[in-house]
Copies of this chain bind each other. A is one copy, B any other.
């Protein structure tokens, strides 16, 4: 009985890794789609999100069934409850990748991102994808040091976000309001995506160490932070 139980627990972990893999690929493709104005690629991200949602529903149902059937306590209980939270983070990351892709579709055949911000958005997209890849690795390896690295990567994301805002409020901005709105939302999507990846890694830390990381929910927009509020 305990073996079937731990198999089920493992398969929940595998489901989380699969979700992370899908939403990592999604943010990478969404970034390419928005930079290249590639409608077909954008559509694959938009349609692909359903699979992420299905995986989450499936994973939740299995987690709840496990709670009901096996009534785990202590560490095992903590694993199941934390898995529910991680699946919510991953599902939300998928939504955010989808938002990027929808913006690409909305502006097609135009490009939503002006040329002088391409490098910054590309870097944000790549960093987001890397953060999610590391989060998946943390789920598998339970490597606390790697989990800690994600926080540093997230600082890098904040820096990129700040760069983006500085471009926006620069007097020389010449791309108009609509593009400013698009870029503001894009920046927010990448930043929130990164927050969720970091949250996933921190939840693993909590599982391993039993200690809550307090700053899971920090997502003060960098425009606020830059200017000293």
Contacts and interface: CB of A to CB of B under 8 A. Distances in A.
Query: How many copies of the shown chain assemble into the complex?
Result: 2
Nearest to A218: B95
A177 B185 contact: no
Interface string A167-209: 0110001000110111011001000000000000000000000
Interface stretch (A14-22, A72-80, A124-132, A135-143): A72-80
Given A71-B71, A102-B224, A103-B224, A212 B57 contact: yes
Interface centre among A57, A99, A184 (most CB of B within 10 A): A184
A184 B178 CA distance: 10
Interface centre among A71, A74, A92 (most CB of B within 10 A): A71
Contact of A185 (B57, B102, B103, B223): B223
Contacts of A180: 177, 180-181, 184
A187 to B, nearest CB: 9
Nearest to A101: B229
Nearest to A108: B229
Interface in A80-112: 81, 84-85, 88, 91-92, 95, 99, 102-103, 105-106
9 closest residue pairs by CB, A with B: A106-B229, A71-B71, A184-B184, A68-B73, A169-B178, A181-B184, A105-B229, A177-B180, A102-B224
Given A68-B73, A173-B177, 7 more contacts: A64-B77, A71-B73, A84-B84, A99-B221, A106-B224, A180-B181, A182-B223
15 contacts: A53-B217, A64-B77, A64-B81, A68-B73, A71-B73, A84-B85, A99-B224, A102-B229, A105-B229, A106-B227, A106-B228, A180-B181, A181-B223, A182-B223, A185-B188
